[in-house]
């Protein structure tokens, strides 16, 4: 039975473009966020992770409904289980902490980009179903 990694993530969308990040030493892009510390509320963890990774503040919006579980992109033998919030950034994001690269991607960018399984599958489907991303993102 695979191990479970629990994370909190932000789906930040501006003008139909989704913010994704790639960690150092990896190839897959994913939503920014990370693991909560012991005793930390999920929303607190999310705001802390965004500050550490992107150097800006986040106002969390609605939490996306559903089960966001898939194979971990960077940890063989593990699955990732995510809680995902929409959110608005305050400040200009810049790659910090373990982040090597960040990108704002639109529907046309997704076919040619290495996206983490969780983002390419269930997460993108929910973003399209809720009207946050265009239908073309599923193509």
Q: Is the pLDDT of residue 136 over 70?
A: no
pTM of the model: 0.93
Q: Give pLDDT, residue 1.
A: 66
Mean local confidence (pLDDT), 11-35 = 96
Q: Are 133 and 120 in contact (CB under 8 A)?
A: no
- Give yes or no for residue 139 having a pLDDT over 60: no
Q: Which residues of 47-70 are buried (b: 16+ CB within 10 A; e: fewer)?
A: bbbbeebbeeebebeeebeeebeb
Q: What is the pLDDT of residue 107?
A: 83
Task: Name the band, by pLDDT with cuts 50, 70 and 90, for residue 111.
Answer: confident
pLDDT at 57 (0 to 100): 97
CATH number of 3-138: 3.90.79.10
Distances (CA, A) of 83 to 41, 92, 102: 12, 24, 20
The residues spanned by each domain of the chain are: 3-138
């Amino acid at each position: 039975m695979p191990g479970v990694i629990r994370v909190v993530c932000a789906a930040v969308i501006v003008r139909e473009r989704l913010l994704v990040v790639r960690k150092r030493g990896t190839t897959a892009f994913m939503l920014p966020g990370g693991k909560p510390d012991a005793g930390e509320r999920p929303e607190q963890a999310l705001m802390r992770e965004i500050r550490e990774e992107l150097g800006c503040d986040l106002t969390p919006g609605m939490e996306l409904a559903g089960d966001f579980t898939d194979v971990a992109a960077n940890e063989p033998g593990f699955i990732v289980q995510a809680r995902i919030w929409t959110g608005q950034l305050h400040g200009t994001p810049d790659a910090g902490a373990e982040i090597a690269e960040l990108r704002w991607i639109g529907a046309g960018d997704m076919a040619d980009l290495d996206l983490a399984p969780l983002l390419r599958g269930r997460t993108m489907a929910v973003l399209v179903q809720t009207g946050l991303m265009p239908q073309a993102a599923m193509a």
